[in-house]
Amino acid sequence: MKRIIIFISLIFCTLNANSQIHEIGVFGGASNFIGDIGSTAYFSPNEPVIGILYKWNRSTRHAFRFSYIQGAIKGQDSYSKAENRKLRGYTFENNIKEFSAGLEFNFLDFDLHEGQDKLFTPYMFMGVNYVMYDELYIEAKKSKKDGKSSTFALPIILGMKTLLTKNLIVAGEIGARFTFTDNLDGSNPKNSNFESLKFGNLNSKDWYVFTGITVTYTFGQNPCFCAN
């Protein structure tokens, strides 16, 4: 029995050597909104966002990633290139609190145990977000709050990261979030009392984008103390 345990342990070490390490850090950047109010540009950061994140690197190619990001999203029709929006002149602002969990995939090997000076890779993250926001409606061309609400979103994040020092990783990323609500901007309020205030494409859902930089600190030992 003892030999079996040792054998299994050796297999585990072989598969996971140099692959298990932790990261904890911060995110800072800006947001932009894609919906029924404001600019129709897909990339136009205009409001600050901040957050924290944790990664558990399970191999040189993938990691489980968890994060919390909060900030504002804002839209102004005056910034749109669409003449009908400029003439309408609506504005809104909403507060976003996002909890995210999913898998980050490295396109190149990113081995934190090798001690390489020039370690970098593009990466992609996909997962699921739980999003808390203000329930809004538009009156007199401006958004007004009608309590709190929540929804889920599907994030698609692309980025590039590099090893800045032995224990610090810096990355730049842009991530679009497809939400399951059409009322981040107040165009489709849930409250039946505001039925007459609905506008825009009520069959489409809202998107928002976070663009920014992450800085994470790495820690943790090689699993099973296997030799490099």
Can you give the C-alpha Rg of the chain in angstroms? Answer: 22
Dihedral over Cα of 92, 98, 102, 103: its sign: positive
Domains in the chain, number: 1
Per-residue pLDDT at 115 = 58
Mean predicted lDDT score pLDDT of the chain? 89
pTM of the model: 0.86
What CATH code is carried by the domain that includes residue 199? 2.40.160.20
Q: What confidence tens digit (pLDDT) does each residue in 105-145 have? A: 999 999 877 655 678 999 999 999 999 999 999 999 999 99
Higher pLDDT, 221 or 23: 23
What residue type is assigned to position 74 of the chain? K
| Average pLDDT rounded to a whole number, residues 215-225 | 74
- Percent with pLDDT over 70 in the chain: 86
Judged by DSSP in three states, 77 sits in helix
pLDDT score for 8: 40
- Token look-up 């030992």 returns 221
**pLDDT tens per residue, range 200-211:** 998 899 999 999
Check if the beta carbon of residue 162 is closer than 8 Å to that of residue 141.
no
- Over residues 8-22, the mean pLDDT reads 51
Q: What is the pLDDT of residue 50?
A: 98
The string of pLDDT tens digits covering residues 64-116 is 999 999 999 999 999 998 999 999 999 999 999 999 999 999 999 998 776 55
Q: How far apart are CA 228 and CA 222, in angstroms?
A: 9
Calculate the CA 50 to chain-centre distance.
11
Residue 145's pLDDT is what?
97
Domain boundaries, position 81: 2-225
